[in-house]
Amino acid sequence: MKAQPAQPPGLAGYLCAIGATAIWSGNFIVARDLSSTIPPVSLAFWRWTVAVLVFLPFALRPLLNERLLLREHLGYLSITALLGITIFNTLIYLAGHTTTALNLSLIAITFPVFIVILLRILFRDPITLNKSLGILLVAGGVILLITNGDLAALLEISFTLGDLWMVTASLIFALYSILIRYKPQGLSIWAFQLGTFLLGLLFLFPLFIWESMQVPTIHFDTKALLSIAYVGVFASLTAFILWNKAIVSIGPTKSGMIYYTLPLFSGLLAFIFLDEQVGILHLGSALLIISGILIANQNRRGS
């Protein structure tokens, strides 16, 4: 009996990165699909409530064991949680009220450009020719997308509100990603993640109470419950585990390149579940954005 050929090195890592990206793309479908059913803060609040409940059995012990270190860095953790948990995902759900799922995912992948710009402003990191060209291509793709192909609209400064919310969310995620680089040494990823989940949920609570007083009572049907379970269990826990395995196996740069296939998954899911049309405009925007990001990262080394 012939021996089975060995798996190519890193294959499991690529599969994990693809799995995480595909799961995250579903988050934009949920944001769009539930936009008329559940208000954005409530959707974010219940998402993170489910995530905390599911994550608790796995991360409670590290959280308790490292409580002194968590308390010492409470300020850092609070800012990180506010940006990455409280604000970022809530803005995605808010954007879902006035733009398409595909637009959400296309604009979301511009966050590396904001990282380059912020690192230059805050830490004087050099912006190379590749980075400059990449930024121009990505900016062109976003402008093409949010003007719906009518560049004359720039003269009227008339953009879809949801697109602007999503651009803001991308900027917030860039700030969050920069902060992650400074995670305190000795703090495990389990304690860090559960700690930020809990703090982010705590910061969301007053907004959740305020929103609950402003909108009619939400009736959770089967679809809404399944959607909240999806974003709470899969987008907040399963994708996190897969993504970390991918980074261990193939490194952050290669994993990051896989992340930029997110619009392909979102476009496919939006076409299947939401009957959103995918046209030449979206394909052209995606081509510009992905090409720009690939060029901007060409000089990075990675693993």
Whether the pLDDT of residue 4 is over 50: the answer is no
Residue 241 lies in a domain: yes
Whether the pLDDT of residue 208 is over 50: the answer is yes
Residue 1 lies in a domain: no
pLDDT of residue 202: 95
Q: Can you tell me the mean pLDDT for 43-49?
A: 89
pLDDT in tens, 90-129: 888 888 777 776 677 677 777 767 777 787 788 777 767 7
Amino acid at 71: R
pLDDT in tens, 213-249: 887 777 777 878 888 888 888 887 888 778 877 777 7
Confidence of residue 302 (pLDDT cuts 50, 70, 90): very low
Residue 239 lies in a domain: yes
Residue 95 lies in a domain: yes
Range of 26-40, 126-140, 190-204 with top mean pLDDT: 190-204
Confidence of residue 3 (pLDDT cuts 50, 70, 90): very low
For residue 168 the two structure tokens come to: 């803001």
Confidence of residue 2 (pLDDT cuts 50, 70, 90): very low
Whether the pLDDT of residue 61 is over 70: the answer is yes
| Average predicted confidence (pLDDT) for the chain | 78
Distance CA 16, CA 214 (A): 41
> Cβ(106)–Cβ(285) under 8 Å?
yes
pLDDT in tens, 163-174: 888 888 888 988
pLDDT of residue 7: 45
Distance CA 194, CA 55 (A): 7
Please report which helix (H) or strand (E) contains residue 94, including its range: helix 88-95
Confidence of residue 276 (pLDDT cuts 50, 70, 90): low
pLDDT of residue 215: 78
Q: Quick check: helix, strand or coil at residue 184?
A: coil
Q: Can you tell me the mean pLDDT for 36-60?
A: 88
Confidence of residue 198 (pLDDT cuts 50, 70, 90): very high
Other C-beta atoms lying within 10 Å of the C-beta of residue 148: 13
CB burial readout 117-129, b (16+ within 10 A) else e: bbbeeeeeeeeee
Confidence of residue 42 (pLDDT cuts 50, 70, 90): confident
Residue 2 lies in a domain: no
Tally of residues, the chain: 303
Could you tell me the pTM of the whole model? 0.73
Percent of the chain with pLDDT over 90: 17
Distance CA 277, CA 289 (A): 19
For residue 68 the two structure tokens come to: 């002194």
Confidence of residue 153 (pLDDT cuts 50, 70, 90): low
Count: domains in the chain: 1
Collect all residues with Cβ–Cβ distance below 8 Å to 127 and sequence separation of at least 6. Answer: 116, 117, 120, 135
Confidence of residue 8 (pLDDT cuts 50, 70, 90): low
Whether the pLDDT of residue 201 is over 90: the answer is yes
pLDDT of residue 12: 85
pLDDT in tens, 68-81: 999 999 999 999 99
> Residue 148's domain spans which residues?
11-296
Residue 282 lies in a domain: yes
Tell the residue number behind the tokens 């979206």, with chain if given.
282
Q: Quick check: helix, strand or coil at residue 187?
A: coil
Collect all residues with Cβ–Cβ distance below 8 Å to 58 and sequence separation of at least 6. Answer: 190
